[in-house]
Structure 1
Amino acid sequence: MDPRSEVLLRQAELFQGPLLIAGAPADGLLGQLPAAHAWTWHAGDQALLESRFSGRSHYGVEVPAVDFEAAVLFLPKSRELAAYLLNALASRLAGRMLYLVGEKRGGIEGAAKQLQALGKPRKLDSARHCQLWQVSVDNAPLAKPLESLAERFELALEDGPLQVISLPGVFSHGRLDKGSALLLEHLDGLPVGHVLDFGCGAGVLGATVKRRYPQSRVTLLDVDAFAVAASRLTLAANGLEGDVISGDGIDAAPTGLALILSNPPFHTGVHTDYQASENLLKKCSQHLQRGGEMRIVANSFLRYQPLIEGALGNCEIRAEAQGFRIYRATRG
């Protein structure tokens, strides 16, 4: 069980009434708190929770429409996302209890200071390298619409400026990361057809390809509900059409693809996780059509070339700069 859940269950008597657990991990916590509902923005966690606790887990970027008398927020990695979630929950909890739990290495002590605007927070427990905080929401805020927290920026590309709209919690929020910037410089000669932007984030790659290759069908896929929402906003801001879907990894992707394009993720919360990226590399051939291409950017220290060669039988390094490499491979 997640250590944060273990800390919560040390105070289980506080959580017997209708409870919303925001950012709930995909463990057995709901089984120990029968009156609780989970809210998650991670498609993989949602699938696992729904399979075990049907009807008690909700996926999306807005507070779910369920009744709750108290809420617990599992602290996310992003400070901006934490601020949005605390506001969204506190706006529904006037005069009631809001709890915050997180790992010390994840910044729980600093995050707990945000509770001071709501009331008088107090630390309830410290164990398993985690802390649990509580505040009575005496100063309930007005809910801030998610789009009001969007970061908008413009990319100067060869074929004109591209508008990007990013939301709290989305990878590289409010800026273009170095890896994607390098890949944007090497989108020449792409095959036309059905294109997948895997781990789409705010939709920069997918939007760029759709504008540059308008005859291609573009699907954008991400495990994170905030990234899915941001990608839809980015496409709309540029007058572009694309299919934006949520799912946990390459298994959720369409087949018969002409191109897989990606700056694949390798972080989950405060911990490093390569599983989604490695699954992409190992299973890409199942989703590419014959002659289809995969073009990705990755940190130079990651040993991706052997994985790509193992899956597709070939791999070339198209470019290398600032600690990143672009790999290209085709399915025979």
Structure 2
Amino acid sequence: MDPRSEVLLRQADLFQGPLLIAGAAADGLLGQLPQAQAWTWHAGDHGWLQQRFAGRSHFGVDVPEAAFDAAVLCLPKSRELAVYLLNALAALLAGRSLYLVGEKRGGIEGAAKLLQAFGKPRKLDSARHCQLWQVTVDHAPEATPLDSLAQRFELALDDGPLQVISLPGVFSHGRLDRGTALLLQHLEHLPVGHVLDFGCGAGVLGATLKRRYPQSQVTLLDVDAFAVAASRLTLAANGLQGEVISGDGIDAAPDELSAIVSNPPFHTGVHTDYQASENLLLKSAKKLVKGGEMRIVANSFLRYQPLIQQALGNCETRAEGDGFRIYRAIRG
């Protein structure tokens, strides 16, 4: 069980009424809190929870329309996202309790200070390298629209400027990361057809691909609901059409792809996790048509080349720079 869930169960008497657990982990916590419901923006966690606790998990970027008398936020990695989520929950909890739980190495002590905007916070527990805080919402804020927290920036590309719209919690929020910057320079001569931007984030690659290959169908896929929302905003800002879907890894992608382009993720929360990236590499052959191509960027220290060779039988380093490598492989 997630250590944050274990801390909540140490104080289970506080959570027996109608409760919303925001950022709930994929574990058995709901089974021990019968009136609790989960809100998550991670498609994999939502799928796991729905399978085991049907109707008690909600997925998306907005507070679900569920009845609750108190709420717990499991601290996310992004401080900007934590601010949005706490504000959204506190706006609905005037006079009631808002809880914050998180790991010490995830910054829970600093994040707990955010509760001061709503009342006088107090620490309830410290265990499992986590802390649990509570505040009675004496000063309920006005809900802040998510769009108002978007960060917009412009990329100067060879075929004209690209408008990018990023949302709190999205990878490389408000800026272009170095890996994607390198990959943007090496998108030439991709097969035309159905192209996938895997782990799309704010949609930089997907939007660029659609503009560069207008005759191709472009699908953007991410596990995170905030990334999906940001990608849709980025496509709209540039007048581009593309399918944006949420799903847990490459298994959620369409079949018969002519190309997979990605700056694959390998971090989840405060823990490092390579599973999504490794699954992408190992299962790419099942998603690509014969002659289809995978082109990805990765940190140079990641040993992805053997996995790509294992899956597709070939792999070349297309470019290297700034601590990153571009890998290219063709399905035979």
Letter in 2 for 1:268: T
The aligned counterpart of 1:151 is 151
Amino acid in the other structure paired with 1:85: L
Q: How does 1:159-308 map to 2 (within 5 A)?
A: 159-308=159-308
The TM-score, its normalising length taken from structure 2, stands at 1.00
Give the partner amino acid of 1:52.
R
Partners in 2 of 1:271 and 1:233 — Cα distance?
29
The one-letter code of the counterpart of 1:309 is Q
C-alpha separation between the residues in 2 aligned to 1:190 and 1:3?
45
Q: d(CA) in 2 for partners of 1:188 and 1:196? A: 15
Whole-Å separation in 1 of the counterparts to 2:9 and 2:303: 40
Residue in structure 2 matched with residue 72 of structure 1 by the alignment: 72
Q: Distance in 2 between matches of 1:58 and 1:40?
A: 6
Output the amino acid matched with 1:63.
Answer: V
Partner of 1:311: 311
Does the residue aligned with 1:264 lie in a helix, a strand or coil? Answer: coil
- 2:121: which partner in 1? 121
Q: Does 1:31 pair with 2:28?
A: no
Distance 1:28 1:157 in 2: 47
Q: CA deviation at 1:279?
A: 0.2
1:235 positional shift: 0.2
What is the match of residue 329 of structure 1? 329
For 2:132, the aligned partner's letter is L
SS of the aligned residue for 1:154 comes to: strand
Inter-partner Cα distance in structure 2 for 1:219 and 1:213: 13
State the alpha-carbon separation in 2 of the partners of residues 264 and 6 from structure 1.
31
d(CA) in 1 for partners of 2:306 and 2:33? 45
Superposition deviation, residue 191 in structure 1: 1.0
Structure 2 counterpart SS, 1:196: strand
Please give the secondary structure, in 2, of the residue aligned with 1:76: coil
Question: 1:248 aligns to what SS in structure 2?
Answer: coil
Q: Distance in 2 between matches of 1:192 and 1:237?
A: 24
Matched position secondary structure for 2:152: strand
The secondary structure found in structure 1 opposite 2:110 is helix
Q: Distance in 1 between matches of 2:307 and 2:129?
A: 35
Q: Distance in 1 between matches of 2:189 and 2:47?
A: 37
Query: Residue 34 of structure 2 aligns to which amino acid in structure 1?
Result: P
2:99 is aligned with what amino acid?
Answer: Y
**1:157 Cα deviation (Å)?**
0.2
Please give the alpha-carbon distance, in whole angstroms, between the structure 2 residues aligned to 1:314 and 1:10.
52
Query: How big is each residue's C-alpha offset from its partner over 1:202-252, in whole Å with a ceiling of 9 and x where there is no partner?
Result: 000000010011000000000000000000000000000000000000000
| Amino acid of the structure 1 residue aligned with 2:257 | L
CA–CA separation in structure 1 for the residues paired with 2:118 and 2:144: 15
Equivalent pairs, count:
332
Counterpart position of 1:98: 98
Alpha-carbon separation, structure 2, partners of 1:314 and 1:26: 36
Once the two structures are superposed, residues 163-182 of structure 1 have per-residue CA deviations (whole angstroms, 9 ceiling, x without a partner) of: 00000000000000000000
Distance 2:195 2:212 in 1: 12
TM, length-normalised to structure 1: 1.00
**1:92-119, Cα deviation, whole Å (9 max, x unpaired):** 0000000000000000000000000100
Distance 2:3 2:301 in 1: 31
For residues 15 and 283 of structure 1, the distance between their equivalents in structure 2, rounded to whole angstroms, comes to 41
Distance across 2 between alignment mates of 1:40 and 1:258: 32
What are structure 2's unaligned runs of at least 5 residues?
Answer: none
Q: Paired residue for 1:108?
A: 108
Deviation at 1:128, TM superposition (A): 0.4
2:220 is paired with a residue whose SS is strand
Quote how far apart the aligned CAs of 1:190 are. 1.1
DSSP 3-state at the match of 1:140: coil
Quick one: percent identity of the two aligned structures?
A: 83
Residue 134 of structure 2 aligns with which residue?
A: 134
User: Take 1:63 and 1:174, find their aligned partners in 2: how far apart are those partners?
Assistant: 23
Separation in structure 1 between the aligned mates of residue 311 and residue 4 of structure 2, nearest angstrom: 38
CA shift at 1:264, angstroms? 0.1
Could you say what secondary structure the match of 1:161 adopts? strand
For 1:51 and 1:303, the matched residues in 2 are separated by 34
Q: In 1, Cα distance between the equivalents of 2:14 and 2:311?
A: 51
Structure 1: which 5+ residue stretches go unaligned? none
- In structure 1, what is the Cα distance between the partners aligned to 2:246 and 2:3? 27
Distance in 1 (CA, whole Å) between partners of 2:132 and 2:234 is: 37
The one-letter code of the counterpart of 2:316 is E
3-state SS of paired residue (1:172): coil
Task: Please tell me the residue identity of whatever aligns with 2:150.
Answer: A
- Counterpart CA distance in 2 for 1:67 and 1:86 is 17
- Mapped partners of 2:186, 2:159: distance in 1: 14
The two structures, once aligned, show a CA RMSD in angstroms of: 0.3
